[in-house]
Structure 1
C-alpha cells in the first residue's frame, strides 16, 4: 500500500497520499462520509506534497516557511497514524475474502482532520505562489 518513498523533501506525505488512494479503492467498503473525508484530505495533501516538493530546491527558507513545512509534515504523520488505526478497525466481509468493511459507520474518523488539512493547504498555497510556468516562487 505504500507506493511512495519517504523523502527529506516531503516526509511521509507521499506514502500518506498513496494510502489514502488505496483506502478509496475497491478493496474497502467505507461509509459515504468517510469516503468524502478521505477524498478531501487526499486532494489537499496531494497539493501540499507538490508544493513541498517544488520548494525543496530552494536553499534558504525563512523561519515561517520552515515552521509551515514542519507543520505539514507533522500533519502527514498524524494522518498516517490515523489511517493505520482505522485499518485495524476494519473487518473482513462475509461475502468476499478480499473486501474490508467499515462496520461502525456513525461518524467519519477523519472528520477532525478536514479543518487542519484545509488550513495547512491554504497556508502553503498562500506562502508559495506559482508563476505561469508552474514553478514555485
Structure 2
C-alpha cells in the first residue's frame, strides 16, 4: 500500500516537474527569442514607412487605401514605441540588470509578439481585400494620365514651335 502511494506521488511529482520545465522552457524561449522578432518588426517598420510615404505622395482618394494606410500608420507608431521601450529597458542595461529585469523583458517580448501578429493580420487583410494591387492599378492609371497630359502638352509646344519656325 505504501509503495502504491509513493509510486503515485512520484508519478504526480514527475508530471508536475515536466509541466514546470516545459513552462520554463517556453518562457525562456519567449524572452531569449525576442531578437528574431525585433529584426522582423524593424524590417516591417521600414516597409510600412515606405508604403505610407508612397501612399501620402499619391494623395489617393481611395477610401479602402486610406483605411489601410491608417491601420498601418497606427501599427507603425505602436512598433516604434515598443522598440523604444525595448532599447530603454533591456538594451541599455548591464547583464546583471538585464537578468533582474526579466519581468520587463518578458512584457516587451509579449508586446513584440503581439505586434508581429498584428502586422500579419494587417497584411492578410490587405491580401483579402486586394488593397495593394488596387493601389498599384490606381497609381499606374494616375501615372499614365500624367504622361498622357504631359505628352499632349509637349506635342502642343512642339507644334507651336514648328509653326513659328515655318513662318
TM-score, L = length of structure 2: 0.46
- Kindly indicate whether the alpha-carbon contact (under 8 Å) linking 1:79 and 1:113 is maintained by their aligned counterparts in 2: yes
Aligned length, in residue pairs:
99
Residues 89-122 of structure 1 show CA distances to partners (whole Å, capped at 9, x for unaligned) of 2252269xxxx95652557231111111122245
**Among 119, 128, 132, which residue is 1:128 paired with?**
132
Superposed counterparts of 1:1-137, under 5 Å? 32-90=32-90, 92-93=93-94, 101=98, 103-104=101-102, 106=106, 108-109=109-110, 110-124=112-126, 126-129=130-133, 137=140
Report which of the two has the higher share of strand: 1
The Cα offsets for residues 16-35 of structure 1, whole Å up to 9 and x where unpaired, read as: xxxxxxxxxxxxxxx54111
Q: Deviations over 1:40-66 (max 9, x none)?
A: 112222222222222222233222111
More RCO (CA 8 Å, sep 6+): 1
Q: Between Structure 1 and Structure 2, which shows a larger proportion of helix residues?
A: 2
User: Secondary structure of the residue that 2:81 maps to in structure 1?
Assistant: helix
> Quick one: distance in 2 between partners of 1:39 and 1:94?
21
Cα distance in 2, alignment partners of residues 43 and 122 from structure 1: 17
Name the Cα RMSD after superposition: 3.1
The answer (yes or no) to whether the contact 1:41–1:114 under 8 Å persists in 2 is yes
* Contact 1:93 1:101 survives alignment (8 Å): yes
Q: Verify the 8 A CA contact 2:126 2:132 in the aligned structure 1.
A: yes
Report the Cα distance in structure 2 between the residues aligned to 1:56 and 1:124, rounded to whole angstroms: 17
Higher Cα radius of gyration: 2
| Unpaired stretches in structure 2, ≥5 consecutive residues | 1-30, 141-167
**Gapped regions of structure 1 (runs ≥ 5):** 1-30
